[in-house]
């Protein structure tokens, strides 16, 4: 396997890898690259649904998403879809998947199945680099903080998506979520310090109200999104992206109205997070 950086701090594009057969030391090397760079893009892959599932099982485990439509024949695979007649996409804001779970998902393997003629890229930002760039006063301020995460305001009945043209397609309107995690975590595999808040699911710091939490939370969110801490995944037929939810945020661009986009996602099981 060879790889080149997609940007200085985040992302890698790997070559010489066949995801349908990868195993052993080669798979461990790919895992390490994902943990370190946050997201790895692989081109010209021909993964069938069965091979997609086998890859995820080799990686270490599958979390079934509570909200997205699932493939009838392969319920391990969630369908992330926007129809040509829809205006709203899924994931169109900076976020970290499953931070609202007690044990958040490690990451995802996303396979491009139907793409618009242009647009629909996904942006990624590195949370290790985000933490490193904070001034020492801010690092001290957040050292022992914990934050509450939930997806109820997004997916539940009456939530954000319920008021859009995605509402009828989503599941889990009766699911209740909520988890408390350290604001600064250590990556379970690399040991690197990471900023672990996000704009979509982090509601407040423990011991503070939402209103009291917002000034610092907004400051952290803004500090993470500097231009030099982002990369852009341009999707093409045969593209697969594998990312680490602890190391990155991501944001799916919604700039292809009038065209369909369908991606198949398997969510990878993670580890309990520690400060």
pLDDT in tens, 204-248: 999 999 999 999 999 999 999 999 999 999 999 999 999 999 999
What tens digit of pLDDT does each residue of 115-135 get?
999 999 999 999 999 999 999
Give domain status of residue 91, yes or no: yes
Task: State pTM to two decimals.
Answer: 0.96
> What's the rounded mean pLDDT across residues 130-158?
96
Where does the pLDDT of residue 86 fall: very low under 50, low under 70, confident under 90, or very high at 90 and above?
very high
CATH number, domain containing residue 193: 3.60.130.10
Catalytic residue from among 36, 63, 97, 169: 97
Give domain status of residue 274, yes or no: no
Reference 6, options 54, 39, 49; nearest CA is 39
Catalytic residue from among 192, 250, 261, 264: 250
State the total domains in the chain.
1
Where does the pLDDT of residue 64 fall: very low under 50, low under 70, confident under 90, or very high at 90 and above?
very high
For the chain, percent of residues with pLDDT exceeding 90 = 94
pLDDT above 90 (res 174): no
Give the per-residue pLDDT at 246.
Answer: 98
Tell me whether residue 97 is one of the annotated catalytic residues.
Answer: yes
Which residue bears the tokens 């996303």? Answer: 110
Report residue 54 as tokens: 């086998």
CA atoms of 85 and 131, how far apart (whole Å): 40
* N- to C-terminal Cα separation, the chain: 33
Where does the pLDDT of residue 191 fall: very low under 50, low under 70, confident under 90, or very high at 90 and above?
very high
- Element spanning 9, H or E: none
Give the per-residue pLDDT at 144.
Answer: 96
Q: Which residue has the higher pLDDT, 191 or 275?
A: 191
Q: Are 228 and 178 in contact (CB under 8 A)?
A: no
Residues ≥6 apart with Cβ < 8 Å to 256: 82, 116, 117, 118, 119, 120
Catalytic residue from among 181, 192, 264, 265: 265
Tell me whether residue 265 is one of the annotated catalytic residues.
Answer: yes
Tell me whether residue 95 is one of the annotated catalytic residues.
Answer: yes
Give domain status of residue 30, yes or no: yes
CA atoms of 142 and 186, how far apart (whole Å): 14
Where does the pLDDT of residue 90 fall: very low under 50, low under 70, confident under 90, or very high at 90 and above?
very high
Tell me whether residue 37 is one of the annotated catalytic residues.
Answer: no
Residues ≥6 apart with Cβ < 8 Å to 178: 100, 148, 149, 150, 152
- Measured N-to-C along each axis, helices 24-37 and 49-59 cross at an angle, to the nearest 10 degrees, of 80
Give domain status of residue 6, yes or no: yes
Where does the pLDDT of residue 172 fall: very low under 50, low under 70, confident under 90, or very high at 90 and above?
confident
Q: What is the dihedral of CA 139, 140, 144, 147, to 10 degrees?
A: -50
Where does the pLDDT of residue 70 fall: very low under 50, low under 70, confident under 90, or very high at 90 and above?
very high
> What's the rounded mean pLDDT across residues 77-92?
96
Give domain status of residue 273, yes or no: no
Boundaries of domain holding 45: 2-268
Q: Are 268 and 105 in contact (CB under 8 A)?
A: yes
> What's the rounded mean pLDDT across residues 69-95?
96
Catalytic residue from among 37, 95, 98, 181: 95
Give domain status of residue 167, yes or no: yes
Give domain status of residue 186, yes or no: yes
Give the per-residue pLDDT at 31.
Answer: 98
Give the per-residue pLDDT at 24.
Answer: 97
Give domain status of residue 275, yes or no: no
């Amino acid at each position: 396997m060879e790889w080149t950086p997609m940007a200085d701090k985040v992302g890698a594009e790997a070559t010489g890898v066949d995801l349908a057969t990868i195993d052993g030391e080669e798979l461990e090397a790919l895992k390490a690259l994902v943990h370190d760079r946050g997201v790895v893009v692989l081109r010209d892959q021909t993964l069938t649904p069965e091979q997609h599932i086998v890859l995820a099982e080799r990686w270490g485990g599958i979390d079934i998403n509570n909200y997205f439509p699932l493939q009838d024949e392969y319920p391990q695979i969630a369908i992330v879809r926007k129809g040509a007649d829809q205006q709203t996409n899924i994931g169109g804001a900076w976020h970290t998947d499953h931070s609202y779970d007690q044990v958040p998902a490690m990451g995802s393997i996303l396979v491009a199945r139907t793409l618009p003629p242009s647009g629909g890229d996904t942006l990624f930002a590195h949370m290790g680099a985000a933490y490193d760039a904070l001034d020492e006063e801010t690092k001290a301020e957040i050292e022992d903080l914990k934050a509450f995460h939930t997806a109820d305001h997004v997916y539940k009945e009456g939530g954000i998506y319920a008021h859009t043209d995605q509402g009828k397609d989503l599941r889990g309107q009766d699911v209740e979520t909520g988890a408390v995690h350290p604001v600064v975590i250590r990556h379970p595999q690399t040991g690197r310090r990471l900023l672990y808040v996000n704009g979509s699911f982090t509601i407040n710091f423990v011991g503070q109200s939402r209103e009291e939490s917002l000034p610092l939370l907004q400051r952290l969110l803004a500090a993470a999104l500097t231009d030099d801490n982002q990369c852009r995944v341009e999707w093409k037929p045969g593209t697969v992206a594998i990312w680490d939810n602890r190391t990155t945020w991501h944001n799916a661009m919604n700039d292809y109205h009038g065209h369909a986009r369908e991606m198949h996602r398997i969510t990878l099981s993670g580890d309990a997070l520690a400060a």
